[in-house]
Chains A and B, each alone.
Chain A
Amino acid sequence: MPLLKFILLGLLSAFIFLAFALIFSWGRWISPSIETANSLLLFLPAAAGRIILPSVTSGLLFTYFSYRNNRMNPAAVILTAGAAFAVLFFGYRFTAAMTYNQDAVAFQPFNERKLHSTDTGIIYTDRIDAEDSSAIDGIIVRKTDSDLPGFKYYEEGRLTGGAEPALNLGDGRTIDVRPSNPVFNSTFSAESLLSGFTADIELLNIVMKKSAVSDEIQYLVLTAVLTSFLMACLLFRGATVWPLLDFMIILALHRLVFYLFAFVSNETDFISETLFGGTAPGNIPMLSLAACTVLIVLFGMLSKALGPNARSRRTA
């Protein structure tokens, strides 16, 4: 029963996450005044890769918190863990092998007779060729903090770079358009708490996908460690007399460990050099995740032993 519940709740979560991941990807390359609307499905490979971990996590959390009884059948737990492992293993492997369609994205961030605020300054575009939307006539650029005169007029320019656009101004000068969608960048940007969390998950996704296409054994171990971590967190269910607090503790553990994983992944070289003299005994992010899992298991067991359920059993 928990297995079926996990699959159903995981699927439901996946659909919800997928819908928003698709809209997010779509929003990065939307330009309303030009007829270059991309289909949402174009971003399916990229979005699918993003939602595997959140879906598995949500599926597990909702499954376990839907049961009121804190004690569960060990066989059901093992089966659910096996299913979570399978989803993670094949999910990352499948999405890593997908083509991301970046080249198929039709993107024109500029609009006719409109100003665009970029990181480097202001770009005005007057006319966009109806036949060839990458050809722009009448471009005025004003760099941020430039002295007077700041406006520079260019008779024509050409948009290059597809999903990561650059504006070629014809005199050999090219402007990287940062952010790539100057009109909707702030519209589709998340606030600080959420953006930090999603950035850490995104890094974990990248590590998993890289591992999926490079080293079979390492990928297998990494997936096993990740699954163990997710299951270990569930030990905190029933840790206190307040179930909602247990739920929040588990989410906080996810947040903390994903942050540590991202931090260690970014600082691998420094850690390897400082702690191991440049010869690390293995994959440092994976080892750190395993270490966190062991700690969580120990604390989880301790909380089980000292928690309210143990007390009520002792009292009985």
Chain B
Amino acid sequence: MNLKIPARFLIITAASYIIAFLFFLILNNFKFAPRDIDIYFRSGWIIYNTMLQFFNYLIPVQAVAIIFTFSVFYPEARSASGFDMLTTRVFSKFVTIIIIILLSLTALFFVGNEIFKPRLHRNIDNYTHLTKTSRAYLEQARAAADDGRLFDAEEAVRRYLAIKEDDADGLTLLRAVEARIENQYSAKSIEDEESADYADNLDLSYDDALRLARHYLDIEDYYSAYYYAQIASGLSGSSAESGSISTRAWTALSRTEPSKEDEEEFRLFSEKKRGTELLLAGKPIDAYYLFNQLNVDHPEDPDVLKYLDESRRKTRELTYFTGEAEEALNFPGINDIAFLNSTDEFERELVYFGKMVTIPSGTYFRNIEAIRFDGTGVNRHIIAEYGKLSGDHIVLNGIDRENSNLKIYPEYLQTDSMPELYNTLKLNVEWTHLSGLGGSDIYHKMSLIDLIEYEPVISGYGWMVEPLYIEIITRILNPCGFIILSLAAIALGWKYRRFSGRVPVAGFILLPVVVYITALFCETYLYAMRLLCSWIFLSFGKPAAISLLAASQIILLLSAFLLIAGLSSGSMDNSRESGSAA
């Protein structure tokens, strides 16, 4: 096959990429350990790990492709005087095109590394976590079913199935538990999630509230009309129209007050009225429990459903439901977050979260600890099992969804003054930055954009900025490494190319050796660059580091080009060709 170098190069590169991918795929098939990762996640784990390793070893893979292109599969033009005579001319002609292709591959390498690798790391970590969590749920479900705690078992198995949707063990257990429940208890109504979502999104303005009040008055839903008119009054301070609607609705409600004979209806009416008053009086938690109880007794009542959702929404602004927090914190998240929450001349506050999880319903925390201290000792030390983000605060007290007596509060181990908002922890950091506050070991899993975003603020959060900055420089140098090593591979491959017309079979038999040594070389070069940039940055500071490192990369790049230019002149090859021919 008489292909030109660019075509050969592209084919060999594609073949190398495919072989490398397949190699990692097979390797990860063997590496997969069901003890650590559930068999359910096997395919995903293998694919993501394969992709991650592929990106990690992309530079050596590319270098091997180049070495084979320029050292083994270079085009030959046989002539009477020798088989190799025209290759120098071929080399000079096509090396420019190869360099252009390499620049394009460098851009792809950079983008691929920065976009895909952080996601791959995240997905692999998620599998590890989901394995642990799902196994814990199944164990909980089985234990609860054995103990006869059927609702606990049902909940645990449902959580398990939320992770492993069509798992046979989980489905069998769920059916068994449901059958036992049906035998013992009547079926319970399932909460209408859609209406909850609607309520969550409800954020009324004065105009909205007034419009709703008018609407409900028109359709003779006086109860709702009264409620929204009251909200409108609250939002505007005083409004003649909302006051008027409120009065008219209340009058209508008084007219429709049920007779004393119908005690149940009357009780429901009174309770609804009390609940609405609690809501309007700023006691949504009490209102929630009241409407929640009414919902059990009157599940069809539209007013009860509506105000249950409303009270739940408002409750979530003040506290969190412990069940929700427990459920959310079983999802993958960020572990071991620590940061300096506030610092001034006199006092500092250090905060630790065992875990943080962000899901659509909010951001939850587990094992929260905050310690405030000054030169004389600790001023405040708070711990809380769970917390939920609300604005720039973390709400630390939680309530049970059903039982108003079950509440958890933060524990004040030591305090000289209470926080401004009781049972809350004020965050002085941007909450979106929390995921990067776990120490320097996580920087390699973050994208370059994230690292750049953290650089100006990380020091204020109590972590050293230098390791992060070195990581940024190293990441920026990686594409330079890709192109420099590729050019070096061209030069080395060409200089030490095969000197016989025979294809070196040993090169294919010893392909693992070629790959290993190339990978070792690439790793050594990249590590040397890391050492160099660390030393320059730590010794001479940021501006000097930028200039010196840019200069070093330009010098290396020019050296590589000069090396290739020297080789393509052909002067070095003539002697060899004559030598080998002899």
A: residues with CB less than 8 A from B are 20, 23-24, 26-27, 30, 32-33, 37, 65, 68-69, 111, 113-115, 117, 122, 124, 126-127, 137-138, 140, 142, 144, 148-151, 153, 155, 183-188, 190-191, 193-194, 197, 239-245, 247-249, 251-252, 255, 308
Between-chain CB contacts (< 8 Å), 12 pairs = A27-B531, A27-B538, A33-B464, A113-B343, A114-B462, A126-B373, A186-B467, A194-B527, A242-B71, A242-B498, A248-B518, A252-B510
Q: Which 3 A-B pairs have the closest CB atoms?
A: A117-B439, A244-B496, A241-B500
Q: Does B535 contact A (CB under 8 A)?
A: yes
**With contact pairs A124-B350, A197-B520 given, residues A187 and B440 touching in the complex (Cβ less than 8 Å):** yes
Q: Which residue of A111, A191, A239, A249 is within 8 Å of B464 (Cβ)?
A: A111
Closest to B367 in A: A148
The 8 Å CB contact of B528, one of A20, A148, A242, A249, is: A20
B binding-site residues for A, Cβ under 8 Å: 67, 71-72, 336, 338-340, 343, 348, 350, 352, 367, 369, 371, 373, 375, 377-378, 381, 383, 385, 413, 438-441, 443-444, 462-464, 466-467, 470-471, 492-493, 496-500, 502, 504, 506-507, 510, 513-514, 516-520, 523-524, 526-528, 530-532, 534-535, 538-539, 575-576, 579
Q: Cβ of B470: which chain A residues have Cβ within 8 Å of it? A: 187
Say which residue of A148, A243, A249 sits within 8 Å of B383 (CB atoms).
Answer: A148
| Residues in A neighbouring B504, C-beta threshold 8 A | 240-242, 245
Complex: A65 Cα to B495 Cα, angstroms: 11
CB-based contact B463/A245 at 8 Å: no
Interfacial chain A residues near B373, Cβ < 8 Å: 126, 138, 140, 153
Known: A115-B462, A149-B369, A252-B516. A126 touches B532 (CB 8 A): no
Of the candidates A115, A142, A144, A153, the one having the most CB atoms from chain B within 10 angstroms of its own CB is A115
Contacts of B444 on A, CB cut-off 8 Å? 186
The smallest beta-carbon distance between B133 and chain A, in angstroms, is 17
Q: Is B348 touching A126 in the complex (CB atoms < 8 A)?
A: yes
In Å, the complex CA distance between A243 and B532 comes to 31
Considering the chains assembled together, what is the distance between the CA atoms of A248 and B64 in angstroms? 12
Residues of B within 8 A of A186 (CB): 440-441, 443-444, 467
Query: Are B535 and A245 in contact, with the CB atoms below 8 A?
Result: no
Q: Are A114 and B440 in contact (CB under 8 A)?
A: no
A243 near B538 (CB under 8 angstroms)? no
A240 touches B506 (CB 8 A): yes
Residues of B within 8 A of A188 (CB): 531, 534
Contacts of A65 in B (CB 8 A): 496
A27 contacts which of B72, B336, B338, B535 (Cβ < 8 Å)?
B535
Minimum CB–CB distance from A215 to chain B (whole Å) comes to 33
Q: Are A194 and B520 touching (Cβ within 8 A)?
A: yes
- Measured between alpha carbons, how far is A59 from B517 in the docked complex, in Å? 18
- Give the residues in chain B near A144, CB-CB below 8 Å: 336
A sample of 9 more A-B contacts (CB under 8 A), given A183-B440, A243-B496, A249-B510, is A20-B528, A27-B531, A114-B462, A115-B340, A140-B371, A148-B369, A240-B507, A248-B514, A251-B520
Once A149-B381, A193-B523, A240-B506 are accepted as A-B contacts, the answer to whether A32 and B466 lie under 8 Å apart by CB is yes
A26 to B534, CA, bound (A): 10
Residues of A within 8 A of B367 (CB): 148, 150
Q: How far is the CB of B147 from chain A (nearest CB, A)?
A: 26
A138 to B462, CA, bound (A): 14
Partner of B523, one of A184, A185, A190, A255: A190
Partner of B413, one of A24, A32, A138, A149: A149
Q: A122: nearest residue on chain B (CB-CB)? A: B338
Contact present for A23 and B531 (CB under 8 Å): yes
> How many Å lie between the Cα of A55 and that of B67 in the bound state?
25
Also in contact, A248 and B535, with CB within 8 A (given A138-B375, A187-B440, A194-B523): no
- A32:B499 contact, CB within 8 angstroms: no
Cβ–Cβ contact B383 & A149, under 8 A: yes
Interface centre among B71, B443, B517 (most CB of A within 10 A): B517
Please measure, in the bound complex, the distance between the C-alpha atom of A122 and the C-alpha atom of B498, giving whole angstroms. 56
Set of chain B residues within 8 Å of A117, measured between Cβ atoms: 438-441
Known: A23-B535, A68-B579, A137-B375. A241 touches B467 (CB 8 A): no
Is the contact region of chain A dominated by helix, strand, or loop, or is it mixed? mixed
In the complex, the answer to whether B71 meets A244 with C-beta atoms within 8 Å is: yes
Contacts A69-B579, A193-B519, A242-B506 given: A153-B513 contact, CB under 8 Å? no
Chain A residues within 8 Å of B462, by CB? 113-115, 124
| Option from A153, A197, A243 in Cβ contact (under 8 Å) with B378 | A153
User: Of A37, A111, A138, A193, which one neighbours B520 at CB under 8 angstroms?
Assistant: A193
CA distance A251 to B510 in the complex (A): 13
B440 contacts which chain A residues (CB < 8 A)? 117, 183, 185-187
Contact, CB under 8 Å: A255 / B579: no
Which of B352, B467, B496, B517 has a CB less than 8 Å from the CB of A142?
A: B352
How far is B466's CA from A187's CA once the two chains are assembled, in angstroms? Answer: 10
Q: How far is the CB of B488 from chain A (nearest CB, A)?
A: 12
Residues in B with CB closer than 8 Å to A155 are 377
A19 to chain B, nearest CB (A): 9
Q: Are A242 and B496 in contact (CB under 8 A)?
A: yes
Whether the pair B463, A114 counts as a contact (CB closer than 8 A) is yes
Report the nearest A residue to B530, measured CB to CB: A187
Provide the residues of chain A in CB contact with B498, threshold 8 Å: 241-243
Closest to A22 in B: B535
A contact residues around B528 at 8 Å (CB): 20
Residues of B within 8 A of A150 (CB): 352, 367, 369
Query: CA separation between A243 and B71, bound complex, in Å?
Result: 9
**In angstroms, how far is the closest chain A Cβ from the Cβ of B444?**
8
Within the complex, the shortest CB–CB distance from A24 to chain B, in Å, comes to 6
- Bound-state CA distance A249–B470 (Å) is 35
Q: Hey, which chain B residues are within 8 Å of A138, CB to CB?
A: 348, 373, 375
| Bound Cα distance A187, B375 (Å) | 32
Residues of A within 8 A of B493 (CB): 244
- Contact call A247/B496, Cβ cutoff below 8 A: yes
Q: A140: which B residues are within 8 A, CB to CB?
A: 350, 371, 373
- CB <8 Å contact, A244 and B492: yes
Nearest neighbor of A185 in chain B, beta-carbon distance: B440
Q: Name the distance in Å between B537's Cβ and chain A's nearest Cβ.
A: 9
> By the criterion CB–CB under 8 Å, are B500 and A308 in contact?
yes
* A206 CB → nearest B CB, Å: 21
